[in-house]
Amino acid sequence: SQTIHQWPATLVQPVGSPLSLECTVEGTSNPNLYWYRQAAGRGLQLLFYSVGIGQISSEVPQNLSASRPQDRQFILSSKKLLLSDSGFYLCAWRSPTILKETQYFGPGTRLLVL
Protein backbone atom coordinates (compact mmCIF):
# COMPACT_ATOMS: atom_id res chain seq x y z
CA SER A 1 0.00 0.00 0.00
CA GLN A 2 1.02 3.59 -0.50
CA THR A 3 2.18 5.86 2.29
CA ILE A 4 3.28 9.46 2.41
CA HIS A 5 5.64 10.91 4.96
CA GLN A 6 6.46 14.46 5.93
CA TRP A 7 9.01 15.85 8.31
CA PRO A 8 9.48 17.57 10.51
CA ALA A 9 6.04 17.51 12.08
CA THR A 10 6.49 20.92 13.69
CA LEU A 11 9.06 23.63 13.25
CA VAL A 12 9.73 26.99 14.87
CA GLN A 13 12.10 29.18 12.91
CA PRO A 14 13.29 32.79 13.21
CA VAL A 15 12.58 35.29 10.48
CA GLY A 16 15.33 35.25 7.87
CA SER A 17 16.39 31.67 8.50
CA PRO A 18 16.36 28.99 5.77
CA LEU A 19 13.76 26.26 5.46
CA SER A 20 13.71 22.71 4.15
CA LEU A 21 10.63 20.50 4.41
CA GLU A 22 10.71 17.00 3.04
CA CYS A 23 8.01 14.75 1.67
CA THR A 24 8.44 11.16 0.52
CA VAL A 25 5.99 8.70 -0.95
CA GLU A 26 6.23 4.93 -0.81
CA GLY A 27 4.46 2.22 -2.73
CA THR A 28 3.88 4.03 -6.01
CA SER A 29 5.87 5.11 -9.03
CA ASN A 30 5.91 8.42 -10.87
CA PRO A 31 3.30 10.07 -8.66
CA ASN A 32 2.13 13.62 -9.19
CA LEU A 33 3.27 15.55 -6.14
CA TYR A 34 1.90 18.73 -4.59
CA TRP A 35 2.72 21.24 -1.88
CA TYR A 36 -0.17 23.12 -0.26
CA ARG A 37 -0.19 25.68 2.51
CA GLN A 38 -3.03 26.19 4.94
CA ALA A 39 -3.14 29.34 7.06
CA ALA A 40 -4.83 28.99 10.45
CA GLY A 41 -8.56 28.46 9.99
CA ARG A 42 -8.34 28.85 6.25
CA GLY A 43 -8.48 26.72 3.12
CA LEU A 44 -5.65 25.10 1.22
CA GLN A 45 -3.54 27.06 -1.24
CA LEU A 46 -1.62 25.19 -3.92
CA LEU A 47 2.04 26.24 -3.91
CA PHE A 48 3.82 23.84 -6.25
CA TYR A 49 3.12 20.70 -8.20
CA SER A 50 5.33 18.22 -10.01
CA VAL A 51 4.61 15.58 -12.61
CA GLY A 52 8.14 14.15 -12.68
CA ILE A 53 11.74 14.42 -11.53
CA GLY A 54 13.03 17.94 -11.95
CA GLN A 55 9.65 19.20 -13.21
CA ILE A 56 8.23 21.85 -10.92
CA SER A 57 5.37 24.25 -11.54
CA SER A 58 4.93 27.21 -9.25
CA GLU A 59 1.48 28.54 -8.54
CA VAL A 60 2.18 31.54 -6.35
CA PRO A 61 5.20 33.87 -6.66
CA GLN A 62 6.88 34.04 -3.27
CA ASN A 63 10.10 33.33 -1.47
CA LEU A 64 9.52 29.57 -1.48
CA SER A 65 10.88 27.04 -3.94
CA ALA A 66 10.41 23.33 -4.53
CA SER A 67 12.56 20.57 -5.89
CA ARG A 68 12.06 16.94 -6.84
CA PRO A 69 15.48 15.27 -6.82
CA GLN A 70 14.04 11.76 -6.87
CA ASP A 71 10.83 10.22 -8.17
CA ARG A 72 9.18 9.98 -4.77
CA GLN A 73 10.82 12.88 -2.97
CA PHE A 74 9.51 16.43 -2.90
CA ILE A 75 11.25 19.22 -1.03
CA LEU A 76 10.00 22.67 -0.10
CA SER A 77 12.65 25.29 0.62
CA SER A 78 13.24 28.89 1.42
CA LYS A 79 16.45 30.89 1.71
CA LYS A 80 14.96 33.46 4.07
CA LEU A 81 11.69 32.92 5.92
CA LEU A 82 9.11 35.66 6.40
CA LEU A 83 6.54 35.95 9.17
CA SER A 84 3.85 35.35 6.56
CA ASP A 85 5.33 31.92 5.79
CA SER A 86 3.84 30.55 9.00
CA GLY A 87 1.22 27.90 8.37
CA PHE A 88 0.44 24.24 7.93
CA TYR A 89 2.30 22.76 4.96
CA LEU A 90 0.78 19.73 3.36
CA CYS A 91 2.29 17.45 0.77
CA ALA A 92 0.00 15.35 -1.37
CA TRP A 93 0.32 12.76 -4.10
CA ARG A 94 -1.96 11.32 -6.73
CA SER A 95 -1.64 8.50 -9.17
CA PRO A 96 -0.53 9.53 -12.65
CA THR A 97 -3.34 7.38 -14.02
CA ILE A 98 -5.73 9.93 -15.38
CA LEU A 99 -8.83 8.19 -14.05
CA LYS A 100 -7.60 8.29 -10.48
CA GLU A 101 -8.03 11.86 -9.36
CA THR A 102 -7.90 11.36 -5.59
CA GLN A 103 -5.17 13.21 -3.78
CA TYR A 104 -3.68 11.70 -0.63
CA PHE A 105 -2.28 14.06 1.93
CA GLY A 106 0.64 13.62 4.27
CA PRO A 107 0.40 14.45 7.98
CA GLY A 108 1.70 17.97 7.39
CA THR A 109 4.32 20.24 8.92
CA ARG A 110 3.29 23.07 11.21
CA LEU A 111 5.67 25.97 10.69
CA LEU A 112 5.81 28.96 13.00
CA VAL A 113 8.05 31.83 11.99
CA LEU A 114 8.89 34.22 14.81
For other proteins, the closer CB: 75 or 91: 91
Candidates 3, 10, 57, 63; binder of other proteins (CB under 8 A) is: 57
Number of residues that bind other proteins (CB under 8 A): 23
**Using rule CB under 8 A, residue 104 touches other proteins:** yes
Q: Which amino acid type is present at position 86?
A: S
DSSP letters spanning 42-55: S-EEEEEEEEETTE
Return the closest-CA partner of residue 88 out of 5, 9, 2, 3: 9
For other proteins, the closer CB: 67 or 88: 88
Mark residues 17-46: x for contact with other proteins by CB under 8 A, - for none. Answer: ---------------x-x-x----xxxxxx
**Using rule CB under 8 A, residue 52 touches other proteins:** no
- Are 76 and 90 contacting, i.e. CB atoms less than 8 angstroms apart? no
